[in-house]
Amino acid sequence: MFNQSKNPRVKRSLVKITMATYELLRNADLRDLTVTAIATKAGVTRKTFYRNFGDVIDVLDYGFYSFILPFYQNPHCDTYYDFVLSTLAFASEHKDVLLMAKKQSQFSLLEGLGVKYLPNTHYIQSVVARHQSEGFEGTFCLIVASLTCGLLEEWVDDDFRQSPAEVASKGVEAIAALAEGQAL
């Protein structure tokens, strides 16, 4: 878990460490990344690193969280199609992050973080409000995160050739098949 203090000094350390980590990931494999290398690149001590993060994955978690949070709070996504279209529009502005995730074989990490943060989205909250069954939210978040990450990964593998609307339509078809025709 990352340090969630609102202290400006802590925020600066979080950002410096995160930026250094992503900079190092451009040329190194995630498995080879060390706390010492990150701290050196960020200009902080190992102690500062561990005061703010438990490990390198926590840095990626923070980066994903701070990067995606404004998008996830988008109130304009009422359908899965809108959600995927909005996701792709956002992702198309940040293709470098997707390409890095592909290079590092980290789409599963993105999926896990998606599951973690999806319950806070307007889209998930609106769907969950319509379905009162036990365990629905967790299952639905897992399905949406898995499917959406799969669509993103496919889009990257295809060198972004398909339009966002085509990719979103594919996602809607998959959700419809899973939901046996129920509108999600």
In the chain, domain spans: 8-58, 73-178
Which CATH superfamily groups domain 8-58?
Answer: Homeodomain-like (1.10.10.60)
The residue-averaged pLDDT of 171-184 equals 71
Spatial separation of the C-alpha atoms in residues 115 and 139, rounded to whole Å: 9
- Residue 176 pLDDT level (bands cut at 50, 70, 90): confident
- Paired tokens of 157: 């593998």
Instruction: Report pLDDT for 4.
Output: 86
pTM to 2 decimal places: 0.75
Spatial separation of the C-alpha atoms in residues 183 and 172, rounded to whole Å: 10
| CB neighbourhood size of 44 (10 A) | 18
> Counting runs of H as helices and runs of E as strands, what totals does the chain give?
10, 0
- Mean pLDDT, the chain, as a whole number? 85
Instruction: Report pLDDT for 143.
Output: 84
The residue-averaged pLDDT of 94-117 equals 80
Instruction: Report pLDDT for 46.
Output: 97
The residue-averaged pLDDT of 71-90 equals 79
Strands (E), 10-120: none
Spatial separation of the C-alpha atoms in residues 173 and 98, rounded to whole Å: 23
